[in-house]
Amino acid sequence: MLLDVNDIQKILPHRYPFLLIDGIEEMERWKRIVGIKNVTINESYFQGHFPGKPIMPGVLIIESMAQTGGLLLLQEVPDREKKLLYFVAIDNARFRRPVVPGDQLRLEMNVLAWRNGFCKLEGRATVQGEVAAEATLMCKMVDLETEQAPAAEPVGKAR
């Protein structure tokens, strides 16, 4: 293991229960990364998704892929504690098999493009060599200090 969960937390801002990668097995700067997510029955989402038939939500598989790719990118940023990566698009997402407790997700992410704070990655999540999910992800790096959440629009009266 190149990086364990403690090393990952030094780079990514995510924390339990939303840190969705447990380790990094391979990494090639600016090009590719392979992360691991151990899926356990202790995950809170299994209480409701689905009782008696636990399946990891596809959106969380995509998020674990994004965190893996984000770790690769943020590692190269000198002032990363002042940056965030925001999703801007998810294309060609496909889910091929359910992910269940006891599975180990292997998250393979490849950088397709990286310029002007925008990045495009393609990735796949596999379980024992079988593709569970694949997608193309796009993100934008923003300054944490200057980025503001959009102000809520006042809600008008119901008619």
CATH number of domain containing 45 = 3.10.129.10
What integer pLDDT is reported at residue 159 of this predicted model?
45
Number of structural domains in the chain:
1
In a domain, 157, yes or no: no
Could you read off the pLDDT of 15-46 as tens digits, one per residue? 999 999 999 999 999 999 999 999 999 999 99
Instruction: Say if 127 falls within a structural domain.
Output: yes
From 6-20, 38-52, 68-82, the region with the lowest mean pLDDT: 68-82
For the chain, what percent of residues have pLDDT higher than 70? Answer: 92
User: For the residues 78-92, what does the mean pLDDT come to?
Assistant: 92
- Residue 117, in any domain of the structure: yes
User: Within a domain: residue 79?
Assistant: yes
Answer yes or no: is 39 within a domain.
yes
In the chain, the percentage of residues whose pLDDT exceeds 90 is: 81
Does any domain span residue 153? Answer: no
By annotation, the residues acting in catalysis are: 49
Residue 66 counted as domain residue = yes
Q: For residues 29 and 109, give the distance between their C-alpha atoms in angstroms, rounded to a whole number.
A: 12
Average pLDDT, the chain: 92
Q: What is the pLDDT of residue 69?
A: 96
pLDDT at residue 146, as a whole number: 80
pLDDT for the residue 118: 94
| Domain span at 114 | 3-143
DSSP string across the chain: --EEHHHHHTT----TTS----EEEEEETTTEEEEEEE--TT-GGGGTS-TTS----HHHHHHHHHHHHHHHHHTT-TTGGGEEEEEEEEEEEEE-S---TT-EEEEEEEEEEEETTEEEEEEEEEETTEEEEEEEEEEEEEETTT--PPPPPPPPPP-
pLDDT tens-digit map of 128-157: 999 999 999 999 999 988 866 555 555 555
Q: What is the pLDDT of residue 76?
A: 84
Say if residue 50 is preceded by a cis peptide, omega within 30 of 0.
yes
In a domain, 149, yes or no: no
